[in-house]
Structures are given as C-alpha cells and as structure tokens.
Amino acid sequence: MLSACDQVRTRLGELISPEPPAQALQAVDRLIDEGKFQEAKDKAASRTQKADAPLRGQFAMSAARASAFKGDTEDALRYLALAFDSMPLNTDEVMSEPAFRSLQTNIRFLQLITQASAPAQSPAAPQAAKAPAAQATAPAPSPVLEVGAGSAQIRQDSKGTEVRAGDVVVRLPN
C-alpha cells in the first residue's frame, strides 16, 4: 500500500513539475540498472508518446531494453522499431546489447536489424528501373548486406534474406 502511495506521489510530482528530459533519461537507466524494469519501461514509454518529444529515440531504446529484460518481446520490438525510426543507431551495438541477447534468434528482431542496416534507396533508383531496355547496360551487381553479432548472422541479397542463429538457418525469399 505504501509503495502505491509513493508511486502516486511521484507521478503527481512529475505532472506538476516535470523532470528535464536528460535527467529523466538518467533516472530510467538507473531503474534498469536496479532491475526495476516495469517502472523503467513505464517512465520511458511516457516520454515517447509525442513525435517531437526531446530524446524520444533514447527513451524508446530504454523502453526496449527494459521490455527485453522483462521478457516482453512484443514491447521490446515495438520500442526498438521506434528507436530506429527516431534516431540513428549502430546495429552492431544493438546486436551486442545485453538486454537483447534473448532476441538474437527472434526472426522479427533480426529483420528489424536488417532493415535498419540496409542503405536507403535514392529517389533516382526507381526512375533508372523505368529506363528503356535499349539504353540499359550490364546489370549492376546486387548489393549484399551482412550483419552479425555472436552466433547470429543475417545476409540479405537480391534472392532474399538468410538468418543464421547457432546451427539454425532460415531462408526468406524476396
């Protein structure tokens, strides 16, 4: 009962005089370090509601980490996708993040990492595809994208995506 009262008092205090974003982010990371994953997730998630929220991507990443530590795969993937959409992230660092170890064999996690690693297609590329065949020269080699960390690896090329995790291989055609 006292804990619930403390939580209400803390929440009311935040509503009356909100913490600056950088300080709130430090508090979220401290809660994760203390193993208070649900509280950390709730606090971080509340800071991701608005598209223009300061440090939105960092709060989304913290919410993803807290969710992953909690074992909540759905929320971890949802907040990780939001983090990728909100800020540039190094996919190698995401793959090696201890919070995401349990997700390294999850196909949706690996697809998210692969999509984030893929180079953005330039607007001119679709127009080049519409060029008449007479003007076309030899086809350009298809780009190959490879991402790996630990025992998980992803290879994406023109034929599709191949995901390797330990001794399991999954091939997804385009």
Question: Would you state the pLDDT for residue 72?
Answer: 96
- CA torsion sign for 144, 80, 97, 105 is negative
Nearest to 156 by CA among 104, 127, 106, 119: 119
Which pLDDT value is given to residue 115?
A: 85
What structural domains and CATH numbers belong to the chain?
10-89 (1.25.40), 103-118+143-174 (no CATH)
In the chain, the amino acid numbered 2 is L
Q: With 70 as the cut, is the pLDDT of residue 133 above it?
A: no
Comparing CA positions, the residue from 47, 42, 22, 23 lying closest to residue 32 is 42
What is the pTM assigned to this prediction?
0.64
Residue 2: the pLDDT is 58
Q: What are phi and psi of 128, to 5 degrees?
A: -65, -30
Q: What is the pLDDT of residue 43?
A: 92
Q: In this predicted model, what pLDDT tens digit does every residue of 73-107 receive, in sequence order?
A: 999 999 999 999 999 988 889 999 999 999 988 98
User: For residues 62 and 44, is the Cβ–Cβ distance under 8 A?
Assistant: yes
